[in-house]
Amino acid sequence: MDLRGEALATDRPDRRLSAVLAADVAGYSRLVGADEEGTLDRLKSLRTALIIPSIVENRGRLVKTTGDGLLGEFGSVVDAVRCAVHVQRWMAVQNASVEADKRIDLRIGIHVGDIVVEEDGDILGDGVNVAARLEGLAPPGGICVSARVQEDVEGRLDVTFADQGEQQLKNITRPVRVYRVLLDGVVDGATAAADATPATPMRLALPDKASIAVLPFQNMSADPEQEFFADGVAEDIIASLARYQYFLVIARNSTFTYKGRAVDVKQVGRELGVRYVLEGSVRRAGQRIRITAQLIDAETANHIWADRFEGGVEDLFELQDQVTASVVGAMEPELRRAETKRAVHRPAASVDTYLCVMRGLALINKWAKADIEEALRLAYQAMELDPDFSSSYSLALACYIIRDANHWSSDREHDKAETKRLVQRVREVGGADALALSFAGFGLAKVVDDVEGGAALIDRALALTPNLAAALAHSGYVRVWLGEPDKAIDHLQRAMRLSPVDPLTFLMQTAMAMAHFIAGRDDEALAWAEKSAQRNPFLLATAWVSAACAANLGRTADVEKYVARMRQLDPVVSLSAIQKHINLRRPQDRARLVKSLRKAGLPE
């Protein structure tokens, strides 16, 4: 026996084929230079709350962290890309409400290759080097992968790819074909290179009617606090235009994903499927405000119309009305000014009231219990400032709906009674405010369990504003609860078309899953639920519909995963607790859900 051969065998390095994920923070030095302590705290929180749990959830291993970067290893390339997609989508949602100079944007690169595993668990080799170089090619908020990754993942996840061609990477001898990951038809974090060839068409079909996207208005004031003024101008124009049946108006949640980014209006037109783009700016100096706006043909990038509006702070809402009227006049010359005037919401009596509501709306997108509590506090502060401003009640109702959906309420009877009171106030002061009526209807249906009464209010909202994405989404849920899956699917599809890159798309996807579930289509329901979970794994309804469908399909591993997630989100979750929170009206729908969750092993 040759012991030398045995010794040589044991000295060989541990090699294996793995998917390697490399990530770092774009503009890290600039962020640290501006606010070292705050940046380090935010990065630490980001790793602890999002990145590391996502790696573990997708069966990966955190190899190491290196200052602003990290390295992860996965046995499955699909798991590696799923992890990266979840992190970047969730970061986009979080960054939507963060000041541009404080945002943490990640760049991620992924490659599959041979690696060497050191005794301390560190990894080396071409697989690591290529992943690191790909990360350097990714734009802020983006993901770049090698052709090998693209081939293995294509068609398996809710993403597509843009071919960037062969790239000569530093210290890598052979050229590597590089792909950017596209989320929802949008290249992450930046405009695609001019010579990039999308793997699938990125353009949404233009509708038959006039269509417009109102981009976030730039804050040109020295005071960053005036960001709320700029956001409010754009949001009110969106809300006013959406009241017209003549227009398809892209929802605020989709257009605000462009906030803080340099954009090409032609690309915006392609990504959102619109003919026109409105952009502008707001400048405040002392008690004077100047609003500029320009309407652009997204096909040609030609300016159709531009104007400037000036006045005192007390004239803010009148100025917004003028912008809205001018845009409508430029797009539809035959519309009379009286029809334009009818589209205007009643403004708050105080600008402070308005700011409370804007701040609260920014917090809601964070989908965290503490942020919902703060948004609720701001809503009540706004009510005190102006008891007749209907948007304050919309904000409060949204908070109660989210608390109920996540079982976050410590006193559900109080929440029910308060929701009833707020709905009545909307009836009194918001009869012409479609958004307030829609939230009132959804709150009545979800929190109070008056589904029929809620449906009637949402129908009133849609009669006022047929193109309001939020009302169509609310209607989708309520139609599920009423046992009308086909109507629910129709309304949800329209909502997603009106807001194609909405950070809250996961809510609409969960409703689609529920609609297919009550229609008996478990395969389609689970597919929609998994799309939702990729965007936001912290919604309890997504977990229970996933567990129910997986149980019916006999997918044991998925059942275990989703039941575990339910327990993570609600440690005391049970069949009886779920039944208290579901609003299904048809006995057969409730019976099917209970039977399915019982099959999944949920305790009584």
Residue boundaries of the structural domains of the chain? 13-198, 210-342, 348-466, 483-604
**pLDDT at residue number 70:** 92
| Percent of the residues in the chain that have a pLDDT greater than 70, as a whole number | 84
Instruction: Give pLDDT tens digits for 378-398.
Output: 999 989 988 988 889 999 999
Q: Which stretches of the chain drop beneath a pLDDT of 50?
A: 1-10, 185-202, 329-346
**pLDDT at residue number 326:** 57
**pLDDT at residue number 366:** 73
Token pair for 35: 């606010």
Contacts of 111 (CB under 8 A, 6+ apart): 19, 20, 127, 130, 131, 134, 145, 146, 148, 149
Torsion region of 301: left, alpha or beta (phi above 0 gives left; psi -120 to 50 gives alpha): left
Axis-axis angle for helices 390-405, 412-429 (nearest 10):
150
Residue 274 neighbours by CB distance under 10 Å: 27
Angstrom distance (rounded) from CA 313 to CA 290: 10
**pLDDT at residue number 266:** 87
Torsion region of 535: left, alpha or beta (phi above 0 gives left; psi -120 to 50 gives alpha): alpha
**pLDDT at residue number 351:** 55
Instruction: Give pLDDT tens digits for 531-541.
Output: 888 888 888 88
Say which amino acid occupies 269: G
> 210-342: which CATH topology?
Rossmann fold (3.40.50)
**pLDDT at residue number 189:** 39
Contacts of 11 (CB under 8 A, 6+ apart): none
Question: What is 13-198's CATH superfamily?
Answer: Nucleotide cyclase, GGDEF domain (3.30.70.1230)
List C-alpha distances in Å: 381 to 316, 376, 378, 393, 554.
21, 9, 5, 11, 50
Token pair for 106: 């990640």
Tell me which residue of 452, 530, 465 sits closest to 494, measured CA to CA.
465
| CATH topology agreement for domains 210-342 and 348-466 | no
- What Rg do the C-alpha atoms of the chain give, in angstroms? 25
Give domain 348-466's CATH number out of 3.80.10.10, 3.40.50.800, 2.40.10.340, 1.25.40.10: 1.25.40.10
> 483-604: which CATH topology?
1.25.40
Q: Are 481 and 583 in contact (CB under 8 A)?
A: yes
Instruction: Give pLDDT tens digits for 58-104.
Output: 889 999 988 788 999 999 999 999 999 989 888 887 776 667 677 88
List C-alpha distances in Å: 227 to 99, 263, 359, 393.
9, 19, 10, 22
Percentages helix, strand, coil for the chain (3-state, rounded to 5) are 55, 15, 30
DSSP 227-272: HHHHHHHHHHHHHHHTT-TTEEE--HHHHGGGTTS---HHHHHHHH
SS3 583: coil
DSSP 354-380: HHHHHHHHHHHTT--HHHHHHHHHHHH
The separation between CA 74 and the C-alpha centre of its own chain, rounded to angstroms, equals 26
Angle, CA of 259, 261 and 264, to the nearest 5°:
110
**pLDDT at residue number 357:** 80
Axis-axis angle for helices 227-241, 316-331 (nearest 10):
40
H helices then E strands: how many in the chain?
Answer: 26, 16
**pLDDT at residue number 97:** 62
Tell me which residue of 255, 278, 273 sits closest to 501, measured CA to CA.
255
Q: Are 212 and 205 in contact (CB under 8 A)?
A: no
Q: Partners of 62 in the beta sheet?
A: 72
Token pair for 528: 């929609």
**pLDDT at residue number 12:** 62
SS3 1: coil
- pTM to 2 decimals? 0.62
**pLDDT at residue number 207:** 67
SS3 297: strand
